[in-house]
Every structure is written in C-alpha cells, then in structure tokens.
Amino acid sequence: MPLACPPALRRAPRAALRHCRPLLAALALCATPLAQAAPAWITVGERAYALLQQQAPALRSQASTAARLSDGARETVHLVQVDDGQLEALSQAVHESLRRCGGYRWHASRADGLLALQALRSAPTAPAVAAPSYAIDNADLVQPLLNQVQDSRILATIQTLSDFQNRYYTSNPGVQASDQLAALWSSLAAGRSNVSVRQVSHRGWPQKSVVLTLQGSSQAKQKVVLGAHLDSIVSGKVTDSTRAPGADDDASGVASLTEVIRVLLDSGYQPRRTIEFMAYAAEEVGLRGSQAIAQQYKRQRQQVVGVLQLDMTAFQGSAGDLYLFTDYTNAAQNTFLANLAAAYLPELTVGYDRCGYGCSDHASWTAAGFAASFPFEAAFADDNKAIHTANDTTATFGNQALHAAKFSRLALAYAVELGTDGPTLNGR
C-alpha cells in the first residue's frame, strides 16, 4: 500500500519543509506507492532511522538490535522495508542531512536482513580467522617501496576515472569504467605468472567489481584484502548522460590502490600471503558489491586476515593527515595501522573519528566477521562537501594528489607487513 504523507507535514510551514526536502524527495512519501517498484530491505543506523521516522511515521522498523562497536559504543540498527526505486535518493538524503555516505546496507530479502542484525548482535568485529601477529619487522622491504610512490600517477588515474560521464552501477559509463580499470590492472600485471585480474559479475546490476590477485607463496590460503569503490553518484535520477565525476568519491581511493599495485608489481615483490585488490561496484546504493564478495568469502570460509578500505583519499579537509574510523572496524587492526604510520610515515599525524553505520565497504567485511579498517582523508565533519555532485572534480583538491599519496604509502606498508608476516597467533 502507498505510504501516506503525514498530516503534520502537509500543514508544516515552507521554511520547515525546506529542511526535510532531501528526505522527502528521497522517499517520495506523498506520491509514490511501494507497488511501483520492487520492495527492498535495508538495515540503517539509529540516526538515519530517526530521520526516516521524523518525516515518515508510517515507515516502521521490522526488527532491530543493539550493535556492539569495536570502540565500546553501542548503536541501534533497524531493519526497514523501502521502495528499491528510491534507494539512490535515500543515499543522497543521508549524505545531505547527516553528512554521511550511504548510511545503510541493502539486503536481498527480509531473511538476509535478519541475519545481518543477528551478526551485529553476536560479535560484529570478531575475525573469522585468527589475528595476525601485527609485527612491524619488514622495513628492508617496505622502506624502498615507499619512495617509489608517485603522486602524479595517482592524479592521472583519478583523472581517467573521473573523465567518465559517471560510474553509476547501472549506467553504460559505469560498465565501461569497470572494463577500463580491469584493462589497466591487467597491463600492470603483464608478465607476472602469479598475478591475475578478474571482473566479478553481480546479480541485479551490470557494473562489475574488479579484483587483482597477487598469489602468495607459503601461506597462500591466507588473504589480505585492500579495497575501494568504483561507482559514483549524484542526487536525483542518474542516466548515462548524468555528470557524476566522483573524483574524490571514490576515484581517489581506486587510484591510491592502483599505485600500490604498480609499485608492488614493478618491484617483483612476492608475498607469503595472497594479497587481493578490489574495486567494488554499487557501494553508493547499499554497499552491494562488497557485501556480495564478503558474504561469498564467508560462505567459502576464506581465510581473510585483514581488510583495508580506501574511500576518499585526496581532499585534506582537516589539520591531520589520516583519520581512523573506530566504529564498525577492528580495534587491533586500527592500532596496527597507527603503528605502521608511526614507524614508516612519522611525519604524518593520525586522528580518530566515527562515520556511522554502513558508511563504506569496510562495513561489509566487518559484518561478515573479518577484521576491517577504514583510514579517511579528514575528520568526518571536514569531509569534501562537493561529493555526490557534479563538482566532485580534481579541482576540489587543487589538481594534485599529494594527500592521496599518503594513503598509498600506508596501504603499501599494510600490504607488505601483513603479506610477509609469519603464522597467525595460534599458529595457523
């Protein structure tokens, strides 16, 4: 049945309505019946749910749980049924009202959503495999690689990706961006028999995720995952002609990872553990690509010892250099990242913040039981205000990638230290 527009909103003064227009546009509460598009199930954090309830009392939580966060805090997460045709606009509403990307996780069914709540209730940050030692003892390998990072190459990759009209998960340019990135990563891997590149097809949308695998040696079954998201979005309906450059969000993260790949492969580095680089599809509409991959890895009992997410690396909006988000991440791995920065990048300052439920793809891995971390370009309140608009271009960060290069260097240290590390703490 249609969701009715609340009487209080019909009588509200224009000034008050202006403040809730993003959400009203997102849900089309006064006009759009759910029957016009396929129903979808999402889990949302308490602030996003309060926003929904404030404007749409008829939209009810079907179930909820108190999520225990790695930093000791708790947050109530709700399962809600919405109109799938409005989820892209919901992402924009959450971004505008809460200064947060996404803010929700998409689920294929009510049963899947209930399983997501159950995982949050039990132990959302408990790793599915034993923790690595987190020793920092490979300076002879790491230090020479850090000097090979070139910010000009990172900027060139950002520009290439942002030159697509958009990289939306259902658009033709979004599909082409995936194909071109796969070709780029394949060219970097040319001549390496232990490196492979594949595109991951997803059920329900055409854009594919891209995965590069650097095969390990003595501990090849254990994996280190570094990811970023490939898609881009702007407010409103997105078609092939809609301009959504997504230079910072998240061409910058993909470009930072691409530079890590280039440096590692050019050096001939051979890890003990397998290292996988992933550019996820459909992050902006409920973390769909990363969720599909993380859940598949969980079902297959893959031994993922750590996950690093790079989502927005180019805009330095705060005085500090790197900000580690402490919610829906792994506390021990966050400490490891801070220690890596202190050991290899002592000139950088590291801060801490929170970004809320479902704010990027690390949340998919955390929900699947793997240790995940998310270093960000600025404090949460100081993020790039141009994201999710046609103005998210390289101009917003001065047409340079010096800040993004810091994240490439941190990711290099992370990949090599974990990739070269010995057995996990219980000897696996």
Binding site per annotation, positions for Zn(2+): 229, 249, 284, 311, 388
Is 292 in contact with 354 (CB distance < 8 Å)? no
Is 46 in the active site?
no
Is 388 in the active site?
yes
Q: Which of 95, 202, 229, 403 is catalytic?
A: 229
Is 305 in contact with 336 (CB distance < 8 Å)? no
Q: DSSP 3-state assignment of 148?
A: coil
Q: Tell me what percent of the chain is helix, strand and coil, each rounded to the nearest 5.
A: 40, 20, 40
Task: Residue 202: name the closest of 112, 118, 295 by CA.
Answer: 295
Which residues are CB-contacts of 188 (< 8 A; sequence separation ≥ 6)? Answer: 212, 258, 261, 262, 265
**How remote is the C-alpha of 285 from its chain's centroid?**
11
Q: Which of 75, 231, 248, 311 is catalytic?
A: 311
Kindly report the backbone phi and psi dihedral angles of residue 106, in degrees, each rounded to the nearest multiple of 5, phi listed first.
-90, 145
What is the side-by-side order of every strand in the sheet holding 39-45? 63-68, 74-83, 39-45, 104-107
Kindly report the backbone phi and psi dihedral angles of residue 393, in degrees, each rounded to the nearest multiple of 5, phi listed first.
-120, 175
Binding site per annotation, positions: 229, 249, 284, 311, 388
- Helix H or strand E segment including 379: none
> From residue 418, how far is each of 13, 272, 366, 413 by CA, in Å?
57, 9, 18, 8
Is 181 in contact with 246 (CB distance < 8 Å)? no
Kindly report the backbone phi and psi dihedral angles of residue 76, in degrees, each rounded to the nearest multiple of 5, phi listed first.
-80, 130
Distance (Å, whole) CA 39 – CA 125 = 29
Is 382 in the active site?
no
Q: Which of 84, 249, 276, 327 is catalytic?
A: 249
Q: Which of 78, 107, 388, 403 is catalytic?
A: 388
Distance (Å, whole) CA 209 – CA 26 = 26
Is 417 in the active site?
no
Structure tokens at 290: 């990363």
Which residues are CB-contacts of 403 (< 8 A; sequence separation ≥ 6)? Answer: 313, 314, 315, 316, 321, 377, 397
Is 283 in the active site?
yes
Count Cβ neighbours within 10 Å for each residue of 155-164 and write b for 16 or more, e otherwise. bebbbbbbeb
Is 361 in contact with 117 (CB distance < 8 Å)? no
Residues designated as active site: 229, 249, 283-284, 311, 388
